[in-house]
Structure 1
Amino acid sequence: MDDYATFSVDDVISGLFQKESMEQPSDRRKLEEQDMELPKWFDEKKFNNVRHESVPAYRTLSLKGKFKLALGYIGNNFYSTFIGRAYFNWNHWFSLYLMKYFPYIAFFRFGIKKSIVNIFEEDPIDDTEPKPNAEYNKPRDPLPWYRDWLSLLW
């Protein structure tokens, strides 16, 4: 049996709080003096060379794809700041406010006075027949090509 297996928990705890263990550091080298050793398989030249332009998947992206990727990157970084979170939270609140009190599509159809409704209230009468879950899981017809392409926009 190893020596460490014969110690009890009380021996280990009492050894931690001895005067000698508090005064002597376990490592005599300063953190600033230590060098980071990279593994042998790591090639620093290849690592520094890998940029967006040299990655094959990025090269095959269209201009629209690169633009969307850049917007996502900018949006994520902007959201990580206080101002970004405040902006996006305000934008979400304002969208809910507009949907609740000013449904602008209904303005043109029904007029401004008739279109201001509370969309979060349930209708008083709902005659919709409930569907079983199997109805939603049925295979659907494939979308036409133009609807498939338009679905990329939203």
Structure 2
Amino acid sequence: MIVLIGPMGSGKTTVGGLVAERLGAALRDTDHDVEATAGREIAEIFVDEGEAAFRAMERAAVAEALATHDGVLALGGGAVLDPGTRDLLAGHDVVFLRVGLSDAVKRVGLGTSRPLLLGNVRGRIKALLDERTPVYESVATLVVETDGREAAEVADEVVSALAARA
């Protein structure tokens, strides 16, 4: 299994789909799993139940996916903040898709469907990058830069780098 981590706008789902395609594997996205289980969008969960409730659902989705999926797994941007989730990632190929502030802002846009970006989008993304990057780095077994690159190029690097380590 290959696990992709990184902040919003890093391309986890897009790159993950391309990596899965190249490997003849399936892509699973824990954000989609949470929405399917809850029967509503993540933004609604944040509003109705709060971030702590969402993180608990996310932790359960990651644990389930790690136990049952053998392809490519894209985690939500904040999933690795949970110590239990970080522990579950031990022993897996974990790829941190690093993105800088400028590219993240361009990719995310106004972030209207992203509850953590309410208010000053650029300022919130910067704060999230500053807070989370050390955590991403601490669990990653591979770091791939995404700034100024097409998703296909990033996917090729992920596949090549992991094949070289195998």
**TM-score after normalising by structure 2:** 0.17
Looking at secondary structure, tell me which structure has more strand per residue.
2
Q: Which has the larger radius of gyration?
A: 1
Comparing both chains, which one has the higher relative contact order based on Cα–Cα distances under 8 Å and sequence gaps of 6 or more? Answer: 2
TM-score under structure 1 normalisation?
0.18
